[in-house]
Chains A and B, each alone.
Chain A
């Protein structure tokens, strides 16, 4: 299940281990936000009579998480397994699709600007450092690290480290050293690439 992978990845990134680390992960506000997002994705396909109480519960929890912790993860796009939020606060995420092992620091916004046709598409193994804004029709490749406070308005190629406002590429290899890429299973659809490859039904089918 996705949530188990989230817990494992969260403990790996925050360097926690053992039962104590597991408990502190489970009781952190950021994990609850991820769990509520996963729950919301899970109940999307339910038949009508079951869906109404489940959705009421979801929206209550979503509103509480939003108002108490300042974390808002919308249900629009799929986020792959291993989704980690390192410390909460001022986080807003809505994207077409996000790959696996997506790491988010406080103050990150992923969303649209006025007039853009679609939302950002983000690949596998992407880390957004504190204060990063990813806006509009943007493709971010695999194994990318976006340094703090930068503004991403254009496409970012694979295996790069970018910084600036707007972003410039500083390195094309060092992000691989930080998190080794994991071979992608064959049954998963490609997350990156033009939207035409993924029809609307494909996006909905996942999860």
Chain B
């Protein structure tokens, strides 16, 4: 549950342009991405509970899951572990099913992270990763810390730390990242 507030606080601090009470609290809490992330945190808490306690919570989760999927178009598997500061900007057609995700992951619309046709293994993602709109990360892939996956790229091989990949299939473009996206992730690292 503490992680949920970390998620929301990161969105409030870094992704709100005009720092006003209305923008910071009401707008951020009503965004589709925030709703989906809060629902994922609830579902993940359910899976961590002991068995007799969690059954009613899991029932509520199972009933609400199709509604949240309908409303937001975002599916996040509740059985995976995602670190704090998880932000989803926009909604629709997002599918996240990972082995492990680090802190401060940023995700846009149309992102698919999960199993592919050729391999049944799931990807794992490091800290401070930014995934652009429409990017697909498929199969047994490890994405390093501070990496940026550019929009509409397809990652089927490992990505080292601190680099920018783009294209179909993903090609390493630069190793020195001065991007704004990663800078914005920094305050929570300290």
Residues of chain A at the chain B interface (Cβ within 8 Å): 15, 29, 68-70, 87, 89-90, 103, 105-107, 127, 129-131, 145, 147-150, 161, 163-165, 174-175, 178
Min CB distance A134 to B, Å, is 14
4 A-B pairs besides A129-B136, A163-B168 with CB distance below 8 A are A87-B95, A106-B112, A147-B156, A148-B116
- Cα distance, A127 to B115, chains bound together (Å): 13
Listed by A's residue number, 11 A-B pairs whose Cβ atoms lie within 8 Å are: A89-B92, A107-B110, A127-B117, A129-B136, A131-B136, A147-B168, A148-B116, A149-B136, A149-B152, A149-B153, A165-B167
Min CB distance B77 to A, Å, is 11
* B120: Cβ under 8 A from any A Cβ: yes
Tell whether A164 pairs with B112 under 8 Å between CB atoms, given A103-B117, A131-B134, A150-B154.
no
Interface residues of B in 44-98 (CB under 8 A from A): 66, 69-70, 73, 75, 92-93, 95
B93 touches A107 (CB 8 A): yes
Tell whether A163 pairs with B120 under 8 Å between CB atoms, given A90-B92, A106-B95.
no
- Nearest residue (CB) in B for A14 is B115
Task: Annotate B89-132 by CB proximity to A: 1 below 8 A, 0 otherwise.
Answer: 00011010000000000000010100011101000000000000
- Nearest residue (CB) in B for A91 is B93
A165 touches B168 (CB 8 A): yes
Residues of chain B at the chain A interface (Cβ within 8 Å): 66, 69-70, 73, 75, 92-93, 95, 110, 112, 116-118, 120, 134-136, 138, 152-154, 156, 167-169
Chain A positions within 8 Å of B152 at CB level: 131, 149
Tell whether A90 pairs with B110 under 8 Å between CB atoms, given A148-B116, A149-B134, A178-B118.
yes
- Nearest residue (CB) in A for B117 is A127
A163 touches B154 (CB 8 A): yes
Tell whether A147 pairs with B138 under 8 Å between CB atoms, given A70-B73, A103-B117, A165-B168.
yes
Chain A positions within 8 Å of B134 at CB level: 107, 131, 149
Most chain A C-beta atoms within 10 Å of own C-beta, residue among B138, B168, B169: B168
B118 touches A87 (CB 8 A): no
Chain A positions within 8 Å of B135 at CB level: 149
Chain B positions within 8 Å of A175 at CB level: 118
Tell whether A174 pairs with B118 under 8 Å between CB atoms, given A130-B138, A131-B136.
yes
B138 touches A129 (CB 8 A): yes
Those 7 A-B pairs whose CB atoms lie nearest each other, nearest first: A148-B136, A130-B112, A149-B154, A89-B93, A127-B117, A148-B154, A165-B168
